[in-house]
Amino acid sequence: MLTRKQHELLTFIDRSLKETGVSPSFEEMKEALQLRSKSGIHRLISALEERGFLRRHHHRARALEVMRLPENAPKAAQKQEPGFTPNVIRGDFTRNVPGVRAANDAAAVQLPLYGRIAAGLPIEALRQDYAQIEVPVAMLGTGEHFALEVAGDSMVDAGILDGDTVIIRKSETAESGQIIVALVDEGEVTLKRLRRRGNSVALEPANPRYETKLYPSDRVKVQGRLVALLRRY
């Protein structure tokens, strides 16, 4: 039996993982639960770990994994957010996705790998010469996907490291708080967390060494949303 705050936190983490592919920061969890300090979040996470609802990957930044949800969770808490597609893929998925071919009886698909995200080029330019990367179908959802290699450490606190490969669901829209591929001024591609502030758009890094940049909304175009991440060791 979970307390109300434990249940709220578990639900928030699960929703964030499904929407962005990475766990929320302690600051985001504190704000979502309206707590005064991050120490309360630490206690809640430890309690959820002890009960087998969460797993913490200590070798990675901001890496939480939801192991299970309470069986008696209210239906409202398990309801998907508007516009979110459950991460469940049927066997015929690859037959319906433009530009994607089956790799192994729908166990994996080949996605275009467009290059490094810090290349300073629009996605359209990166498409001129690209490789292929094999991705497990279970990591994807409906829609068209592509992959990009991460260059730099601006998103390390979101668990995204230099050299990682991010899987992006192509989209021209995104909600505030989601990690997106953004095209700035028709010339620069960047991976950042989106924050909407009135008629402006903030592109927020996940590293205190970098500053959040604020732009008029017409200078930023959403190219896609982060749904998964691959890492080689």
Tens of each residue's pLDDT in the chain, 233 residues? 678 888 889 989 888 888 877 788 888 888 888 888 888 888 888 888 888 888 877 655 567 888 888 765 544 344 433 333 333 323 333 344 444 444 444 478 888 887 777 534 455 545 555 678 888 887 787 888 989 888 888 888 888 888 888 999 999 999 999 999 998 888 788 899 999 988 899 999 998 888 999 999 999 999 999 998 888 77
DSSP code of residue 23: P
Summarised one tens digit per residue, pLDDT across range 193-212 is 999 988 899 999 998 888 99
Give pTM, 2 decimals: 0.54
pLDDT of residue 22: 79
Distance, in Å, from the CA atom of 145 to the CA atom of 166, rounded to the nearest integer, reads 10
For residues 115 and 165, give the distance between their C-alpha atoms in angstroms, rounded to a whole number. 9
Residues 6+ apart with CB under 8 A from 199: 216, 217
137/44 Cα distance (integer angstroms):
33
Q: What is the pLDDT at residue 21?
A: 77
Contacts of 123 (CB under 8 A, 6+ apart): 114, 146, 181, 183, 189, 223, 224
Task: Render pLDDT for 50-94 as a digit per residue (tens, 0 to 9).
Answer: 888 888 776 555 678 888 887 655 443 444 333 333 333 233 333
In the chain, DSSP assigns E strands to 54-56, 64-66, 101-102, 108-116, 131-136, 145-149, 165-170, 179-184, 188-197, 200-204, 213-216, 220-230
Instruction: Give the strand pairing for 179-184 and 145-149.
Output: unpaired
Catalytic residue (one of 154, 170, 171, 213): 154
In eight-state DSSP terms, residue 72 is T
Annotation marks residue 154 as catalytic: yes
Annotated catalytic residue, options 192, 200, 217, 221? 192
Enumerate domains of the chain plus CATH numbers: 4-70 (1.10.10.10), 93-230 (2.10.109.10)
What is the phi-psi region of residue 177: left when phi exceeds 0, alpha when psi lies from -120 to 50, beta otherwise?
left
In the annotation, is 38 catalytic?
no
- Tokens 């290699």 correspond to 149
Taking the C-alpha atoms of residue 145 and residue 9, their distance in angstroms, rounded to an integer, is: 30
Q: Which residue has the tokens 């700035």?
A: 184
Instruction: Show the tokens assigned to 102.
Output: 């089956």
Judged on CB neighbours under 10 Å (0-12, 13-18, 19+), 121 is: middle
> How many C-beta atoms surround the C-beta of residue 143 within 10 A?
15
